[in-house]
Amino acid sequence: MDYPKLFNTVRYLRPRQVFYQIFYRIRKAGYKRYRRPGSGLCLVFKTSPIDKPTCLKQDEFSFLNISKAFPGWDDASVGMLWTYNLNYMDWLCQSGMREKLGLFWMDKFIAELPDNSVGLDPYPTALRGVNWVKFFVLYPEAMNEKRLDSLYSQYRLLEKKLEYHILGNHLLENAYSLYIGGSFFSDSRMKKKAYALLLKQLKRQILPDGAHFEQSPMYHCILLDRLLDCINIAPTAKLESYASRMLGHLENLRWADGSIPMFNDSAMGIAPSADQIFDYAKRLGIGWAACPMKESGYRRLSCGRIEAFVDVGNITATYQPGHTHSDALSYELKIGGSPIVVDTGISTYDKTPRRQYERSSAAHNAVVVDGMDSYEVWGGFRVGKRGKISVSSEDRGSVNATLRFNGITHNRIFEISENSFTVSDIVAGGNRKQSLLHFAPEVGAVRVEGGVVNAEGFRIEIEGADSVSLEDCQISREYNRFLSAKVLVMTFTERMSYKIIVD
């Protein structure tokens, strides 16, 4: 056991997390059948929610790019995240879902729920509850006593297992779902409890610049979509205010083509697109204005055909950094809308060497000193010792930031102009220093010739490097899919810079 690493992880936890980690191990809340309240149902949405991706075709389920026939609700043979997706039942809200097919799986789930350990977990319960409500609003004739009582019983179980031991986006998802469930069942007690929890978590988790504090663009979109669902069934001025701020952040946190950068735990094909979210918000009558990025740590630099997102922020979800990567002072870059410099992305949530690599500094466009990570990522979703970043200056064309960790001081300056993007590094302390630059799979043949790297459409001029080499790597834009690419490895002694020049 690495006790220093464990200490540096646990010391950031909130007392409530520690208490509930122990409490939930002692008190096991079991599934119990309840009769739904007889106060009537809310069966009206202001507008249609966003459709879920198609993940059920005939008798085959497809999640995370893995397809298979129904394996049982708690079968984890292809990974727990796949099993969780099965229990979310998102396919009830996929485009073209037939009522008869949806009810078959709903009734099967109800019959087998008491023995379904995964289905009884609070996180899939929360997401599934929202999907069931949407399905019932779309097909009100599908409601009967058995199905409504089961949904209400699942919500009562969720109330007993709120994820205070995890907090972060999990507890926010719990609050979203309870609010939607309480509104659907016209259960004033449940709705009032959920609303109080929801406002408290939104206040804590949404940063002043509108970003979700776990700093994952993917989860920002997921959680914003769910907030819009809450407004769709039971709008309030406070919820709309938070949605407007999150929309304002998303307005700035996207490339010119509308896609989002792949910072931290982010992947394609999971969250609704920015365009889908903006259209949903417009249909709900919610307005917004672009929010300048600050507390999130992200900055957008754009000039001419070059656009980049840089990460100069500290970990803001200090007590729940499960989706954090060791990506301090990393960046992504496009030229003319084509990806050039990218993160290696994520392919799995399983606790494997690949997961460890994808979270490490070596998987990002950062400087690695003596093989160390700027944030001590470990255990799949944990972070121990953490570096600290300070921004000393910034304007429309540059950002100057300094990272301090393990006695190392790393100053990095990003500068953009009409035809170039420059990265300058000065590192004090340590021995072996490597600056890494991961090329997008779309980048064609790359040639290293002395201190210049040539590729179609651009070149890179390097100063101060002791050695420059190209190595093979793999990029994952989606779960369980890999694309071959190249990584430029530049070894230096104390200071170096490189300029990406558009030809």
pTM of the model: 0.96
What are the extents of the domains in the chain? 15-283, 298-502
Report how far residue 331's alpha carbon sits from residue 351's, in angstroms, rounded to the nearest whole number.
25
In words, the CATH class of domain 15-283 is mainly alpha
Task: State the pLDDT at residue 72.
Answer: 95
298-502: CATH class: mainly beta
What pairing do the DSSP bridges indicate for beta strands 338-341 and 331-335? antiparallel
Q: 395, exposed or middle or buried, with CB in 10 Å at 0-12, 13-18, 19+?
A: exposed
Written as one letter, the residue type at 503 is D
List % helix, strand, coil for the chain (3-state, nearest 5): 35, 25, 40
Given a contact cutoff of 8 angstroms between Cβ atoms, the answer to whether 176 and 51 are in contact is no
Q: What is the model's pLDDT at position 44?
A: 87
What does the alpha-carbon distance between residue 187 and residue 199 come to, in Å, rounded to a whole number? 18
Q: What is the DSSP string of 255-323?
A: -TTS-----SS--TTSSPPHHHHHHHHHHTT----PPPP-TT-EEEEEETTEEEEEE----S-TT--TT
Cα→Cα distances 274→211, 242, 442, Å = 14, 17, 23
Helix (H) or strand (E) holding 194: helix 188-205
366/435 Cα distance (integer angstroms): 6
Q: Yes or no: say if 139 and 151 are a contact pair by the CB < 8 Å rule.
A: no
Q: Which tokens sit at 255? A: 């490339």
pLDDT score at 231 = 98
Confirm if 405 and 388 have CB atoms less than 8 A apart. Answer: yes
**CB-based contacts of 195: which residues, under 8 Å, 6+ apart?**
179, 182, 236
Residue 478 gets which letter from DSSP?
Answer: S
Give mean pLDDT in consecutive 10-residue pieces for the chain, a chain of 503 residues: 86 94 89 87 92 93 96 94 97 95 97 94 98 96 96 97 97 98 96 98 98 98 98 98 98 95 96 98 97 96 97 97 97 97 97 97 98 96 97 96 97 97 97 97 92 94 96 97 97 97 94
* Distance between CA atoms of residues 46 and 48, nearest Å: 7
Secondary structure letter of residue 115 according to DSSP: G
Which of 255, 223, 258, 260 lies closest to 242, judged by CA?
Answer: 223
